[in-house]
Amino acid sequence: MKNTPFTRIHEQLGAKMAEFAGYNMPISYTGINDEHAAVRNHIGVFDVSHMGEFILKGDGALDLIQRVTSNDASKLTDGKAQYSCLPNETGGIVDDLLVYCIEANKVYMLVVNASNMEKDWNWIMKHNTANVEMHNISDKTALLAVQGPEAVKAMQKLTDMDLINLAYYTFVKGTFAGVENVVVSATGYTGAGGVEIYFEDHGQAEEVWHKIMEAGAEYGIKPCGLGCRDTLRLEMGFCLYGNDIDDTTSPIEAGLGWITKFTKDFTNRATIESHKKDGVSRKLVGFEMIDKGIPRHHYKLKNEAGEELGYVTSGTQSPSLQKAIGMGYVKTDQAVIGNEIYVEVRDKLLKAKVVKLPFYQA
């Protein structure tokens, strides 16, 4: 099990630790609801150094990215980022990822899920027919996500870079907390605003952590674990790879048509384009529980007569909304806002209704 540059701090703070994607990660410190509220209302910091980072360099870098990702990376200019996915050869998804444009047409950073790091690297290498220069910098990259409505003004204390005016899905590069060549982006996974801080760790990671905690102290900053990261992203209706999307789910089924651009060629474009043109048999929806009960991953979704409609992909008790929410795949004709569906919990059918995403709106 791998450690991150901040593992010692998590343990000193008494975090509840667990294995996640091969890493020793903090699940919670003071409790999921407490940490969730800190991010929604003030400021929280997540260690997400387990994420994977690949650098692609050279004249063929953009062409390679265009061929393996669904979104149109040619639209990116320096300092811009986009959400995308890696389609596979059967119409499913290898992974979802972020594409950062460091230098247009020349240098890009791909940020991938920890659990898929090796799979993604091998997939991209397989398609790297032009010998684009590729570097896996995951093991030497520290990454902190400082999230919440007061995150940006707190972090502005630590840099001369303009974070206050950092637009969504853009980034800047410069000196942060005394460390040079730091990338600070606004591509958060919580829906609460904030920044992500990438830097090569030369032994100063713990010092950066302490400076961040000091800068956020007046705003009540709290360390946060993966537990509340999951509740925060679910309230926003953001997909989690391995739950809501995987090798068997089409981007169109998952509601990711907006990151699937048919103005260029990419892996198995024809199949996915047919999904958009001809329709799909199932769709990912959000739902709220009407009856008391919490939907869990893989619980069956049924109609009132007990006929199977699909299954739950993610579910929780929403700390912000004080109600149980979930996402799941249902037959397309059932994916209608307001439609009543049922979650099978211990042989009982509990009523729920399909709702518009996101669940939480600030």
For the chain, the domains span 7-49+139-235, 53-136, 281-355
Averaged pLDDT score across all residues of the chain: 98
| 3-state secondary structure (DSSP) of residue 167 | coil
For 78-111, write each residue's pLDDT tens digit. 999 999 999 999 999 999 999 999 999 999 999 9
| DSSP conformation letters of 195-234 | EEEEEE-SS-HHHHHHHHHHHTGGGT-EEE-HHHHHHHHH
CATH 2.40.30.110 corresponds to the domain 281-355: yes
Tokens of 270: 């024809």
Tokens 């890493």 belong to residue: 23
Would you tell me how many other CB atoms lie within 10 Å of the CB of residue 212? 24
Selection from 321, 357, 361 nearest residue 36 by Cα: 321
CATH 1.10.10.10 fits 53-136, yes or no: no
Q: Where are the beta strands (DSSP E) in 186-281?
A: 194-200, 222-224
Using pLDDT thresholds of 50, 70 and 90, give the confidence band for residue 76.
very high
Give Cα separations from 200 to 14, 141, 142, 166, 172 (angstroms). 26, 5, 6, 22, 15
Whether the per-residue pLDDT at 36 is higher than 90: the answer is yes
Given this chain, do its domains 7-49+139-235 and 281-355 carry the same CATH topology? no
| pLDDT tens-digit series, residues 259-294 | 999 999 999 999 999 999 999 999 999 999 999 999
> Distance between CA atoms of 63 and 74, rounded to whole angstroms?
9
CA separation, residue 299 to residues 141, 242, 310 (Å): 37, 15, 9
pLDDT per position as a tens digit, 2-28: 999 999 999 999 999 999 999 999 999
7-49+139-235 is a CATH 3.40.50.2300 domain: no
The DSSP letter of residue 253 is T
Q: What is the DSSP letter of 3?
A: P
> How many CB atoms are located within 10 Å of the residue 180 CB?
11
* pLDDT above 90 (res 362): no
Mean pLDDT across the stretch 39-58? 98
Separation CA 79–CA 62 (nearest Å) = 15
pLDDT in tens, 194-241: 999 999 999 999 999 999 999 999 999 999 999 999 999 999 999 999
Res. 43: pLDDT tops 90 = yes
